[in-house]
Structure 1
C-alpha cells in the first residue's frame, strides 16, 4: 500500500517564483550596464567611428628637467693663517649667528710676534731720541760757526762741515721715525693675525659641512683652506636646471615651476623661474643653459643636495576648447572619404575670423561698410582655394594640407603664412585706412596672429558621417590640443574607426 506524497504548499512556491523573477531582472540590468560601460566612449555604433566630445578645459605646456636643490647663499669659512687648531666649537647642522666663534687656532706664535714688535718699537723710539739729541747739537754747532764765519773768524770749510753734520743729524731723525712706523705696522699685522686665530661666522645660518678637527694643523700658505660651509638661509632655496637649447626660448623669468623630490614623493612643491643664465654648457655636443628657480622653504623640509624633478610651465590656457590629439591625427580611408566625408561649412576660415574681430572693434557704419566690401571680395577670391582642401586634402589657405594633423610644420609653411598675411593686409588696406590709430594697432596685431596661427583638418561626426572642418590649433600638452574656429563645445570629433567585431 503506497503512501500519498504531500502536495506543495502555495505559500512556499510563490516566494520561489518571485525570487527567480528578481534574479532574471537583475541579470538583464547587469548586461545592459556592461554594454553601456563598454560603449561609453564610442560614438553612435551604427556609424562605425569612435568619437570624443570637444570640451572645455585647461591646457598646460611644460618643460621637464632635473636639478639639485641648494641654498641661495652658501659661505665657505676658511682660515687666513696657519697653525694648529685648538678648539672646534660648531658641528654639522648647528644654527650659528654672525660673529659667533666656530674654532680657535693656537695664538702663541702671534703673541710672541706682538711682544717682539713692541720691543722693536721701544728700541726705535730710543734711537729717535738719540738722533734728535745729535740733531740739536749739530744745529747749535752750525749756528755758532755760521755767526763766526760772517765775521771771518773761521774758515769757510768749517762752516760747510758743520752744515753737513746738521743735515746728517736731520736724516737720522727721519730714519728713526720711519723705523718706529715700521715696527708699529709689523705689530699691527701680528695683532690682526692674532685676531684671525679666532674663526667666526660671517653670517647667520646653519653649518652644512665641517672639515676640521681639534689638533689638526691648518696650512694657509697658498690659499685659505675651507673649515666650515654655512648656508645663510634655508627658508629660501634655489634649483639650477639644465634646459636644452631647443626649449630655452620658451623659458622666461616669472614662470611657475612645479617639482617633486624623492624624499616626499606624494608632495608637489612650487617655485618660480628667477634667472635664465647665458653661460651655455656643451656636453657631448648637447647645448644646455642653466635656469635658476627660486623656491620657498618655510618648513625647511627641503634639504640642500636633494634632486628635484621639475617641470617649467611655459604656457597655460584656461577654459579653452580642446580635443584629443588622436582627433587631429585621424584621416578616413580613401573609400570612406569618397563615400561619406563632407566638407564643413561653419565659419573657420580667415573671413569668418576677421568678421569676429571686426565685431569686437565696435565699428561705425562707414567702417563696417568698408569691411563688408573687403570681406565680400575676399570670399570671392578664396572660394576655390577653400573648396580644394575640404574635399581632397589639397593645399589649405594657410599653407597646410588636409590629412592627419595637416602639414603645418612643412619648411615652407612660414613663408606661405607670411604671404597670406601680406594678401590680407592688401585686401583690407582701404578698411584699415578708416580706423583710428588704436583700432589700427589692434587690427595689425590680430591680423598677424591670425596669419601666424597653425591650422589643421578635423573630422566631426555629423548625422553619422564625417565632416571635415579646418580649425586653428594652439597649445598642446601631449594629450589634448587647443582648437578654435569651426568647432563648438559638445561637437563629436572622430578619433578612429571601430574595430571589427567591437559592437
Structure 2
C-alpha cells in the first residue's frame, strides 16, 4: 500500500519542476529581448549582410515563331481539295490545297487556238511576201532596161514593203498570244497552293467547296510557322526601364501553361518603335528562346524578367535603413559625418565625401599601372586630400563662427540626401552643377597622372571616374556599442528590397538604424 502513495506524491513535484523550468525559460527570453533592445538603444535596425543582388526588369509579352508565313491565293475560284490541317508539318513545295482550274483551262485552250490562227496568218503573210519579192525583182530588172513605166516599179516596191509588214504583224500577234497563254498557264499552276517554307501549319482559314476571291487582295488560306525549335517573345518594356536593357542580357520567364517550369531566353533586339497607350510609353524588346523540346507554344502569354545586372558577394542592407530620416528634435538629427561641411557644399563638391580617395585608389589599382604612373597617381591623390582637409577645416571654422549648424544638418543629417545621384528633395540642376564642378576639379588635379596613361587605361579611368561622380551616396546611422554613429554609404544596385552598399569601415554584421522605437515598443 505504501508504493502507490509514493507514486502519487512524486507527480506534483514533477509538475512543479516543469513549471519552474518554463518560468525560467520565459524569464530568460524576455531578459534577452530586453537586452537586445537596450543594446539597440531604442532603435530598429537592419543588419549588413553579404550576399547577391540581382536587378531585373519585369515585363509581359507573347510567344511567337521567329518567322511566320501567311499563304494566300493569287487567283479566284472554288477550293476543291485541302490536304493539310492544323498542326500539320509541311515541307517546302508540298501541296496544301487546290482551286478549281476549269476557267483557266478553257482560257488555255482558247489561247492555243488563237496561236494556231496567228501562225496560219503568218504563213499566209510569208507567201504574200515571197510573191511580192519575186514580182519586185522582175520589175526592177525591166525598169533598169526601160521596158516598163516607173510607176509600175514603184507599185511593186510598195507591195513588197506591205508584205513584209504583214509578216511582222503576224509574228507580233503570235508573240502576244504566246505571252497570254503563259499567263494562263501560270494561273493554272497557281490553282495548286504549295507551302513556301518548311514548317508547321498554325491556322487554316478555308474549307472544301469555299470560293475565294482574289480581285483586290490575296485571301489568307493558311498560316505557317517556319521553325518552332526557336521562338521569340516581344516584350513591352516601360520607358523608365528601357535604358537598362541591352542586347545579350539573360531573360527568365514563365508561362501559366507550365507553372512548374522556368524558361530562359536572350535579348536579341531593342526596337526603337515606341508605342503609347493611355499615356504610357513602352518599347518592344525581342527575346529569342530555344524551344528544341517543343514545349512552348505560339501565342502563350509570358511573364518575363530581364536580368539587368547581378552583383555577387557584395555587402547589402534592407532598403528601410537607407530611407530612414530622423524625426525633428531627435538626437540623431544633430549627428553628421565627421569632416563633412555643415553649411553647404560650396566649392568642395558633395561627391568628395568620405571614401572618395579609397574609390579612386581602387580605380587606379584596376589599371595595371607602371611605377612611374603609380608615383604620378600617389602625388595627385596626396595633393587632393591635402586640399580637401584644408577646405574642411576652413568650413568647420566658418561654421563655428556663423552658427550654421542647422543648415549642415539639413544637408548631411537627414539621411535622405543622395550625394551625387540625386534625390527627391534635391535640385537636379544643382546636383548636375556640383558634379560638373567636381569633374573639372578632378580632371585638373589628376591631369598630370592621366597624361601618363595609354588609350586603354585612359578610357577605363574616365569611365570609372564618371561612375564615381554619378554614384549615389546617402548618410545612414550605424550602432557601435549601442551608440549611433553617422556613416556615409555609397549605394549600388538594388533588387527592390535590399541594396548594395559600400563605405569606410562598413563590414558584414554592422547594425544600421532603420527607425526609432516608440515608447510602447520600448516597453
Q: Which secondary structure does the structure 1 equivalent of 2:519 belong to?
A: coil
Deviation at 1:105, TM superposition (A): 0.7
Question: 1:375 aligns to what?
Answer: 385
- Distance change (3 Å), C-alpha of 1:393 and 1:101: farther
Partner residue, 1:3? none
Aligned to 1:239: 233
User: What SS does the corresponding residue of 2:215 show, helix, strand or coil?
Assistant: coil
State how 1:256-271 maps to structure 2 within 5 Å. 256-271=250-265
TM-score under structure 2 length normalisation? 0.85
CA, structure 1 residues 36+105, in 2 after alignment: closer, same or farther (shift >3 Å)? farther
Contact 1:351 1:379 in 2 (8 A): no
Map of 1:350 onto structure 2:
356
Moved more, 27-36 or 232-241: 27-36
Q: 1:282 offset after TM fit, Å?
A: 2.7
| Cα displacement string for residues 222-242 of structure 1 (whole angstroms, at most 9, x for unaligned residues) | 111001111111222112222
**For structure 1, which runs of at least 5 residues remain unmatched after alignment?**
1-5
| Aligned with residue 197 of structure 2, among 186, 200, 203 | 203
Match for 1:457 among 475, 479, 484? 475
Residue of structure 1 in register with 2:176 after alignment: 182
Cα deviations by residue, 1:32-53 (Å, 9 ceiling, x for unpaired): 796699899x765551112222
CA distance in structure 2 between the partners assigned to 1:167 and 1:39 by the alignment: 125
Q: 1:297 to 1:8 in 2, by over 3 A?
A: same
Does residue 69 of structure 2 align to residue 75 of structure 1? yes
Q: Could you tell me how far 1:434 is from its partner in structure 2?
A: 5.8
Distance 1:188 1:359, change over 3 A: closer
Equivalent pair of 1:394/1:402 in contact (CA under 8 Å): no
Superposition pairs of residues 86-97 of structure 1, within 5 angstroms: 86-97=80-91
1:322 corresponding residue in structure 2: 316
Which residue number corresponds to residue 403 of structure 1? 414
The 1-side partners of 2:454 and 2:131 are apart by: 100
Assess if the C-alpha contact under 8 Å between 1:341 and 1:465 holds in 2: no
- Residue 268 (structure 2) pairs with residue 274 (structure 1): yes
1:65–1:310 contact (8 Å) kept in structure 2: yes
In the alignment, what sits opposite 2:343? none
Tell me: CA distance 1:25–1:119, structure 2 relative to 1, closer, same or farther (3 Å): farther
Q: How far is 1:400 from its partner? A: 6.4
Q: How does 1:34-433 map to 2 (within 5 A)?
A: 45=39, 47-337=41-331, 341=335, 343=337, 348-358=354-364, 362=369, 363-364=371-372, 366-367=375-376, 368-383=378-393, 401-407=412-418, 408-409=422-423, 410=426, 411=428, 412-432=430-450
Cα distance in 2 for partners of 1:36, 1:117 equals: 108
Q: Structure 2 CA distance, aligned partners of 1:158 and 1:250?
A: 94
User: Is the CA contact (8 Å cut-off) linking 2:337 and 2:475 kept in structure 1?
Assistant: no
**Residues 159 and 90 of structure 1, relative CA distance in 2, 3 Å threshold:** same
1:285 CA drift (Å) = 3.3
CA–CA distance in structure 1, aligned partners of residues 69 and 412 of structure 2: 59
Aligned residue-pair number: 493
Contact preservation (8 Å) 1:43, 1:51: no
Q: For 2:387, what is the secondary structure of its paired residue?
A: helix
**Contact 2:253/2:303 (CA < 8 Å) preserved in 1?**
yes
Backbone CA RMSD of aligned residues: 3.2
Partners of 1:221 and 1:35 in 2: CA distance: 88
C-alpha spacing 1:110/1:436, structure 2 compared with 1 (3 Å):
closer
Partner of 2:517: 498
Quick check: 1:393–1:402 contact (8 Å CA) kept in 2? Answer: no
SS at match of 1:271: strand
Is 2:489 the partner of 1:476? Answer: no
Q: Is contact 2:333–2:414 with CA below 8 Å preserved after alignment?
A: no
Q: 1 CA distance for matches of 2:454 and 2:69?
A: 59
1:142-191: CA deviations, max 9, x gaps?
00000001000011100110011111111111111111111211111111
Q: Which runs of 5+ in 2 are unaligned?
A: 341-352
